[in-house]
Structure 1
């Protein structure tokens, strides 16, 4: 595994956790911690990484909902 791919894998995991946290805060608690613009930026970053490294895409990714 290349270093770039490993860094991407780690970032994808981090982004998914962060997005799931913010989804919970927004949809369940009705208490968002970040702006919509910041959330959208996180999703765009995750989408870009998944596009660049399609092998990192999983069915439970927030981008697949």
Structure 2
């Protein structure tokens, strides 16, 4: 899964980005944490992060 797909999925789980932007920062963080508690999404996020990091290391 590409990063942009993961970001879109995370945003869709959090709700509209406008609503998030208008929220208080602490509430925004709580929403992100709640969304990441979804094990499948967390696993995908970790995989995407590892893949991106590996690409950067290999290309250096």
TM-score (norm 1): 0.34
Work out which of the two has the higher radius of gyration on C-alpha atoms and give 1 or 2. Answer: 2
Which structure's residues are more often helix, by fraction? 2
